[in-house]
Amino acid sequence: MRELLIATHNLGKLREFAAIFADLNLRLYSLNDLGITTVIEETGQTFAENARLKAEGYRALSGLPTLADDSGLEVAALGGAPGVYSSRYGGVTGAAQLQYLLDQMRDIPWHQRVARFVCVIAIAHPDHPTELVEGVLSGVIEFAPRGIGGFGYDPLFYVLDEDATLAELSIERKNQISHRAQAARAAREILARWQSMTINP
């Protein structure tokens, strides 16, 4: 079984990747599994730059093929914010962060609350050029959180075609449509190609 480091401490994210890569002969590790506590600073100005920084940085630390993603929420009415700062938007986390976003959008009507989730995945291999893929999911920011599933901004992100927020969807359905799922499926093709070339991951 070949090995792949998923450069995250987020168990929810690890489970999403594990589900999508289930048919590949891979043993997935998180940063926690390898005891890696070093933080690769996300100094890039784009999701792609940050994903590459993390993938190549943690590949160097672990010696393993490494998948890293940078993802976030872009709200049109906020000029694309929070963007690459999604995880630290407003300097708060959890429910307080959701409330901070809602406060920023207090006077914005429904038809102007268009947003999108973006995910860029970079896969860095010791013997192969780093490759990047992207997934995008469009939606609308709700006026209040809905649902108990998912994580991050999922309770506020309403998907029109589903008539539900991401937090109201089953993990199976979210894994079919989410920005990360789209990017992960593209990443899966890279991993499968590498395996067919007998290059470890």
Residue 126: asked if its preceding bond is cis (omega within 30°), the reply is no
62 labelled binding-site residue:
no
12 labelled binding-site residue:
yes
54 labelled binding-site residue:
no
Q: What is the dihedral of CA 49, 95, 169, 166, to 10 degrees?
A: -40
41 labelled binding-site residue:
yes
128 labelled binding-site residue:
no
- Cα–Cα dist 56/183, whole Å: 18
Return phi, psi of residue 90, to 5°.
Answer: 75, 0
Selected catalytic residue, list 69, 70, 127, 161: 70
**For this structure, is 70 an active site residue?**
yes
138 labelled binding-site residue:
no
The three-state secondary structure class of 129 is strand
179 labelled binding-site residue:
yes
Return phi, psi of residue 184, to 5°.
Answer: -65, -35
Detail the residues annotated as belonging to a binding site for Mg(2+).
41, 70
Detail the residues annotated as belonging to a binding site for substrate.
8-13, 71, 151-154, 174, 179-180
Q: Which residues are catalytic?
A: 70
Detail the residues annotated as belonging to a binding site.
8-13, 41, 70-71, 151-154, 174, 179-180
